[in-house]
């Protein structure tokens, strides 16, 4: 039973890593669009931005509800990043240890 629990937590940890990667790429691309480095009229760029927006908007929406933009900067990204990192570093290993102790 222990290898299955370890596999599940490994997959969850990997998903959190992918979410963080999507958040970082989305933030970088939004800065590049804001400074006119990349053109959103390009269909492939628009598709990439659309996919990243569909992935990151549900994650950032709860944070945007209580963190207003300050001077045009969206600080919800930083808070979401810190929360996900905290979950990944502190809560997941503790939950895995406790579940393994509970199972035996």
Quick: pLDDT tens for 34-62. 899 999 999 999 999 999 999 999 999 99
pTM here? 0.88
CA 32, 34, 37 angle in degrees (round to 5)? 40
pLDDT value of residue 73 = 82
Looking from the CA of 21 toward its CB, the CA atoms found within 13 Å total: 6
Residue 88 makes CB contacts below 8 A (sequence gap 6+) with 13, 16, 17, 20
Looking from the CA of 82 toward its CB, the CA atoms found within 13 Å total: 6
- Number of residues in the chain: 104
Average the pLDDT over 20-45 and give the result. Answer: 93
Q: Which domain holds residue 88?
A: 2-103
- Number of structural domains, the chain? 1
């Amino acid at each position: 039973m222990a290898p299955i629990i370890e596999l599940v937590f490994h997959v969850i940890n990997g998903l959190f890593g992918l979410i963080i990667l999507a958040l970082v790429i989305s933030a970088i691309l939004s800065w590049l669009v804001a400074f006119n480095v990349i053109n959103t009229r390009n269909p492939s760029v628009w598709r990439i931005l659309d996919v990243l927006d569909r992935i990151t908007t549900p994650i950032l929406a709860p944070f945007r509800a209580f963190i207003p933009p300050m001077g045009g900067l969206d600080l919800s990204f930083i808070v979401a990043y810190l929360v996900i990192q905290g979950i990944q570093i502190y809560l997941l290993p503790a939950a895995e240890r406790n579940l393994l102790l509970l199972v035996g």
